Amino acid sequence: MKFSTRAASIEQLRTGCAWLPVTGGKRLTPSGEALDALAGGRISAALASGDLSAKAGATLLLHLDGGVRRALLVSLGDDDEASEKTWNEAIRAAFRAAGTLAADDAVSVLHEAAVAGRGAEWKLRTQVAAGREFAYRFEELKSKRDEQPVRPARVALLVAKAGAARAATEVARATALANGVDLARDLGNLPGNVCTPTYLADAAKKLGREFGMKVDVLAERQMQALKMFSLLSVGKGSDQPPRLIVVHYQGASSRQAPVALVGKGITFDTGGISLKPAAEMDEMKFDMCGAASVLGTLRAVAEMKLKINLVGVIAAAENMPSGKANKPGDIVTSMSGQTIEILNTDAEGRLVLCDALTYVQRFKPRTVVDIATLTGACVIALGHHHSGLFTREDALAAELTDAGREAGDTCWRMPIDDAYQEQLKSPFADIANIGGRAAGSVTAACFLSRFAKGYDWAHLDIAGTAWKSGANKGASGRPVPLLTRFLIGRSEG
């Protein structure tokens, strides 16, 4: 599905379908009124008859004569000003209804409706995001793909001439973001026998070639030389060798300190010797969604050509049980020199991330954000709506929270007080890799904080938001929108 902007009046259009917002139960916006006049009052007559429910997301299709062959009326609810919730319901309903039509193209003026606290650019971006989500299909590994085309193939967003240039920029950025989300979803949806650490490294190299980014891939021997024995220990039980993947995007002066994104890339997580239950273990292919979000964000940033320097670091490994695997009670030495007692081999994400957080110091980043499907405890705490945000930096917390709210990809700040560090004490090593059931997502973040030195740091636990279960199982692409919006803010700040 391709999006564009068009600076014209609705009377000038030739299109298979025009999407018209209806507010207050029966009121049209200016473009709707203009099309109604052209159609001899047929649209207002249909509204007066009560054929369109006032419930947000209700739709009514009218066939017209002339350049606009169909009008899809979309209700935004009883109020003159829609809420974000009713707006989202309405635009999703528009794509669903349009998807049943034979029209290959459409023109939307839904953004003429008022949304509380939101401007025109936000309404344009959210339409692109909703449309691309509606159009997304993962059929790469099917022998027969859905032959039914996604409709409409093209959607034009009607804008005023005065703001046409800015609107076009926003739609282009929204498209770049959608491309990044799709990449993250594609990688997340691949099975573990395809998406191995080596596959992730190859995907990063391909991305680097496409957008002119430098990519370095560290193999086991190089990681051994760096004494990354915590990361290496996680991959010992697998036939798939671990990889440390580093991608450099330079959009600003080399004098500008980069932002670094560090992603957990456990391409399949059995739990190791601390084996997970069999039920739903297939979903542990999604345990590399932090890594996928790093590559998706890099793609979006590169396509947008943001004026910022960005480093993506991915710690990739497969966590399997075998005679070589980590055992509960084993002690490993991290790149930082700190020793770690592994009390649970299923708390492996923090073991790969801690070495990546030490490694990233060499780039002298001003800010580091790590992203990981780290703890089931975060799902218990926040469900599937918010990602968990952990940081000691109030300003950074505000930046990320605001970016998530703007992008519709929200996070919620959680505590990371030193008091929780007590739970990680070990009588045999510098630190244990778990701190018990209580506050499990907090103690995981506290563990990582021991290694995040020399830069501002935040941790995003996306265990509840990176994928969906059930009939619509699949990777969500989160938090690519949050991270990209955060980086847009940094590039413009």
Q: List active site positions.
A: 276, 350
Please, are residues 59 and 94 in contact by the beta-carbon 8 Å criterion? yes
Is residue 209 exposed (0-12), middle (13-18) or buried (19+ Cβ within 10 Å)? Answer: exposed
Q: Which helix (H) or strand (E) holds 403?
A: helix 394-407
For strands 330-333 and 339-342, give the pairing: antiparallel
Q: How far is CA 230 from CA 47, 160, 433, 451, in A?
A: 65, 57, 11, 12
Tokens of 104: 């290959």
Contact assessment for residue 258 and residue 365, using Cβ atoms and an 8 Å cutoff:
yes
Secondary structure letter of residue 253 according to DSSP: -
Neighbours of 380 (CB within 10 A): 13
d(CA 96, CA 168): 24
Q: Please, is 69 exposed, middle or buried when counting C-beta atoms within 10 Å of its C-beta (0-12, 13-18, 19+)?
A: middle
Rounded Cα distance between 409 and 88, Å, is 13
Q: What is the 3-state secondary structure (H, E, C) of 138-170?
A: CCCCCCCCCCCCCCCCEEEEEECHHHHHHHHHH
**Cα-based distances in Å from 178 to 3, 24, 136, 380, 471:** 11, 31, 10, 29, 23
Place of tokens 């409709």: 151
CA distances from 123 to 65, 116, 375, 379 (A): 29, 11, 34, 30
Name the residue among 361, 380, 392, 378 with its Cα closest to residue 479: 378
